Amino acid sequence: MAKLSEIDVEHVAKLAKLELTSDEVKKFRNQLGEILEYMDQLMEVDVAMVEPTSQTTGLTNVVREDEIDMTRVFGQKEAISGTEKTLNGYFVVPALLNKNNE
Amino acid sequence: MSDLPVTISELQRDLVKRNFSAVEVVDNYLARVKAFNKELNVFNTVTEDLAYKQAKMADEMIAEKGEKALSEYPLLGVVVAHKDLFLTKGVRTTASSKVLDSFVPEYSSTVVIRMERAGAIMIGKTNNDAWGHGSSGENSDFGPTKNPWDSSRVPGGSSSGSAAAVAGGMAMVGTGTDTGSSVRMPASFCNLVGLKPTYGSVSRYGVVAFASSLDTMGHMTQTVEDNRKIFEVVAGKDEKDGTVLNHKLQITNNKQIRKGKFRVGIPKEYFGEGIDIEVREIIEKVIEEYKKMGVEIVEVSLPHTKYAVAVYYIVQPAECSSNLGRYDGVRFGKGREFFGDEAKRRIMLGTYVLSAGYYDAYYLRAMKVRSKLIEDFSKAYAQVDAILAPVSPTPPFKLGEKNNDPVAMYLSDIYTVSANLAGIPGLAVPGGFTKNGLPVGFQLMGPRFSEEKLFALGEVYQRVTKWHERRVNL
Cβ neighbours for B243, distance < 8 A, ≥ 6 positions apart? A55, A57, A59, A62, B199, B200, B204
Mean pLDDT throughout B178-198? 98
**Contact state of A16 with B240 under an 8 Å Cβ cutoff:** no
Note the pLDDT tens digit of each residue in B235-275.
Answer: 999 999 999 988 876 666 666 776 677 999 999 999 988 89
Amino acid B251: pLDDT: 64
pLDDT attached to residue B2: 60
Q: Does any domain span residue A80?
A: no
Active site residue B109: no
Inter-chain touch A35–B368, beta carbons under 8 Å: no
- What percent of the residues of chain A are helix, what percent strand, and what percent coil, each to the nearest 5? 40, 5, 55
Q: Which of residues 309-368 of B touch A (CB under 8 A)?
A: 309-311, 313-314, 321, 325, 328-333, 336-337, 339, 344-345, 347-349, 351-352, 355, 361-362, 364-368
Comparing alpha-carbon positions, the chain B residue that sits nearest to A52 is: B368
pLDDT at B380 over 70: yes
Find, among B82, B140, B166, the residue nearest to B428 by Cα. Answer: B166
pLDDT reported for residue A75? 93
Q: What is the mean pLDDT of residues B281-302?
A: 97
Looking at A58-62, B2-6, B51-55, B135-139, which range is the least confident one? B2-6
Q: What is the predicted pLDDT for the residue at B348? A: 97
Is residue A12 assigned to a domain? yes
In which domain, by residue range, is A28 found?
Answer: 6-43
Please answer yes or no on whether B344 and A20 come within 8 Å at the CB atom: yes
Q: Do A55 and B243 touch (CB under 8 A)?
A: yes
ipTM over 0.90: yes
- pLDDT recorded at residue B246: 85
- Is some CB atom of chain B closer than 8 A to the CB atom of A29? no
Residues B79-128: tens digit of each pLDDT: 999 999 999 999 999 999 999 999 999 999 999 999 999 999 999 999 99
Q: What is the model's pLDDT at position A101?
A: 60
CB of A3 less than 8 A from some CB of B: no
Q: Quick check: B183 and B220 in contact, CB under 8 A?
A: yes
Mean pLDDT is lowest, of A61-70, B203-212, B229-238, B451-460, for A61-70
B242 to A64: CB separation less than 8 angstroms, yes or no:
yes
Class of domain B8-469: alpha beta
Q: What is the pLDDT of residues A17-66, one digit of tens each?
A: 999 999 999 999 999 999 999 999 999 999 999 999 999 999 998 888 89
User: How close A97 comes to chain B (CA, Å)?
Assistant: 17
Let me know if residue A82 belongs to a domain.
no
pLDDT band at B4 (very low <50, low <70, confident <90, very high): confident
> Is A42 within 8 Å of chain B by CB?
yes
- CA–CA separation, B455 and B446 (whole Å): 11
Q: Is residue A37 part of a domain?
A: yes
Average pLDDT over all residues of chain B? 95
Q: Is the CB of residue B368 less than 8 Å from the CB of residue B409?
A: no
Q: Are B153 and B440 in contact (CB under 8 A)?
A: no
Segment holding B177, helix H or strand E: strand B173-178
Q: Are strands B173-178 and B79-83 parallel, antiparallel or unpaired?
A: parallel
Q: Is B158 a catalytic residue?
A: yes
A25 in a structural domain: yes
Q: Which phi and psi (to 5°) does residue A95 adopt? A: -65, 140
Widest CA span of chain A, in angstroms? 59
Cβ under 8 Å to A: B residues 445-464: 448
Is the preceding omega at residue A22 within 30 degrees of 0, hence cis? no
Q: What are phi and psi of B288, to 5 degrees?
A: -60, -40
Q: Taking CA B112 as the corner, what is the angle to CA B26 and CA B455, rounded to the nearest 5 degrees?
A: 90
b/e map A13-44, b = 16+ CB within 10 Å: bebbebebeeebeebbbebbbebbebbeebee
Number of domains in chain A: 1
Per the domain annotation, does A90 fall within a domain?
A: no
Instruction: Choose the closest CB to A82 out of B103, B307, B313.
Output: B103
- pTM across the whole model: 0.96
Q: Which of B21, B109, B136, B182 is catalytic?
A: B182
Is residue A102 a part of any domain in this protein?
A: no
pLDDT of residue B254: 66
On whether residue A83 sits in a domain, the answer given is no
CA distance B22 to B77: 6
Distances (CA, A) of B377 to B19, B57, B332, B418, B423: 48, 46, 41, 9, 11
Give which of A45, A81, A85 to mutate to test B binding, by max B Cβ within 10 Å: A45
CATH number of the domain enclosing A10? 1.10.20
Is B412 catalytic? The answer is no
Please choose, from the candidates B409, B418, B411, B43, the residue with its C-alpha nearest in 3D space to the C-alpha of residue B196.
B418
- pLDDT classification of A1: cutoffs 50, 70, 90: very low
Q: CB contact, 8 Å: A90 with chain B?
A: no
pLDDT (average), residues A66-84: 91
Question: In chain B, what are the domain boundaries?
Answer: 8-469
